[in-house]
Every structure is written in structure tokens, then in C-alpha cells.
Structure 1
């Protein structure tokens, strides 16, 4: 089991295929939400993922400032159903924040959170900056982190 972070241009075709497959499985199929999963933003993003037995067990798309918002962002956060409850989401999110703050030099991170996950994101210092709204039929809240967190000792 290993963690990887790669810019889009560094991904192999197999890695890209696995990422898009898992994102589609969760956001389109599991959540029964037909929408354009491949939205053109991936090309300028970093992709953070955990592999175990050649399967993606956690993934997040890291968007530099100016791609989706004026701030950096974290999106497409997933843990496949077979790997939930193992702490991968927490480690994934901590690694994502760490990369954006340490490697990209950003302190503000904006996310579009599914409403039921606000307490999870809030535990990392994110605060709601919008009322709840429907995005593709799912309640969401915009949240912002505008403080530097202590760097993680992760490799």
C-alpha cells in the first residue's frame, strides 16, 4: 500500500484509467448522479491516491489556485465502499492539505463539501462560507480553510 501524488502529465494511462473508473463508480453510479465527471480541470491538477493491490483505495484531486476558485481547492475526494472505515479519508485529506500548503505554498483552500461531511472537513479547520445548496441534486456547502496547519510528517 503506497501513496502517490502526481501532476496529470505524470500519470500513466493505467493510473488515469483507474482514477476515472473509481470516480465514475462513486460520483455517477453509487450516488446516482449523471453529470460530466471528466470536466477539463484534471489536466492542470495534482492527483493524490493510495494504491493497494493495484486498486485505488483513496483519491483526491488537488486544484492549484485559479483552476476552480481564486483559492486552491481539494475535490473529487473518494474512498471506495470496500475501503471505508479504515481511516483512509482522514489520511488522504491531511496529505492533501499538507501538499497544497507545503508544496504549492497556499494557505487558503476552498472546497465544495457534501453537507453531511461538514463535520469531517470542519475537524481540519474548514468553515462554512455559504448556506446549503443543491449541486446535482445533492446538498452542498462551500467551505474555506484560511490558516496554515502544522506540516505532517508523512512521506
Structure 2
């Protein structure tokens, strides 16, 4: 099980922010071989969901209230360090993120922009694909909506 912490941008320590940016860069830029601007000045508006294993950041998402990214609340930058994916921590970090959206924004309608190869993963969490696939940073994506309540 992960040690989950939810923090605003101002609550993050410098080390936590560095670890977040390192993990996101490691996966989204290096592993996925995708040159894009990860640091987008949206982190300041987001809530950050950090997943630690043995005091090491290994999973992460960021959350937005309705209107800050999509019309609905949203979860983005979903990432689990490669060495830890076999343990299904993606489900832990996403379930914690859904709960954090419900608790902090009083919302159970959540939109994500999912990488298409992860569609089945998100379906298992209750997300439903909507619309057509599209390319974002040369990676196929699809919008998905979560509307269940726990």
C-alpha cells in the first residue's frame, strides 16, 4: 500500500516538487520519448497527490477543480515509476485521486485525457471513453469521464 499525501502547490517542499518534476520527466519525456513542456504553470492551481513507498515518491497525479483545466474536475499527469508498476500502484494513486476530488471539490464528475493504451486501466476504475481519439504530443489520447460516487 502507498502512503498517500494530498497537498496544494504551496504546501509542497522544494524536495517534493523536485521529486515530482523528476518522476514526470523520467516517464513522460524520457521513457515515452516525447519532447514536450511538462512545466506548464498549471501546477500552481492544482492539488498534488503523492504516493510514497518507503519514503520515496513512486506515484503521482495532479487534480484540478472544475473550470481550471476542463469544465469538469480533472485528474492529470498520472504516473507510476516503471520499477513499481507491477504492484498495481496505479489503482491506489487513482482511487486516492478520485477520493481527493470528491473530498476537496465536492465533485464526482471527473474528466481525464487518457493515453489510449491505458483505456482498459481507466475503465476498471469506472471511467468511460467519450468522443474520438486524438493526438496529444504525438501520443494517441481519448477523453474519459467518471461519474460514479463511492
Smaller-chain TM-score bracket = over 0.9
- Give the Å deviation of 1:3: 1.6
Paired residue secondary structure (2:86):
coil
CA contact (8 A) 2:4 2:96 kept: no
Q: Is 2:80 the counterpart of 1:72?
A: no
1:130 and 1:80 mapped to 2: Cα distance?
A: 29
TM-score normalised to the size of structure 2? Answer: 0.94
Give the equivalent residue in structure 2 for 1:24: 25
**Aligned-residue CA RMSD in angstroms?**
1.1
The aligned residue for residue 153 of structure 1 is none
Distance in 2 separating the partners of 1:3 and 1:15: 13
* Displacement after TM superposition at 1:103 (Å): 2.6
What does 1:35-74 correspond to in 2, within 5 Å? 35-74=36-75
Offset of residue 102 of structure 1 = 2.4
Rounded Cα–Cα distance in structure 1 between residues aligned with 2:55 and 2:92: 19
Distance in 2 (CA, whole Å) between partners of 1:66 and 1:81 is 32
TM-score (norm 1): 0.92
The total of aligned residue pairs comes to: 149
| Aligned-partner SS, 2:35 | coil
Cα deviation 1:31-59 (Å, max 9, x = unaligned):
01011100111001111111234421111
CA distance in 1, matches of 2:19, 2:103: 27
Structure 1 residue 147: Cα displacement: 2.6
Deviation at 1:104, TM superposition (A): 1.4
The runs of 4+ residues in structure 1 deviating greater than 3 Å are none
In structure 2, the gaps of 5 or more residues are none
CA separation in 2, counterparts of 1:53 and 1:106? Answer: 31
Match of 1:100 in 2: 101
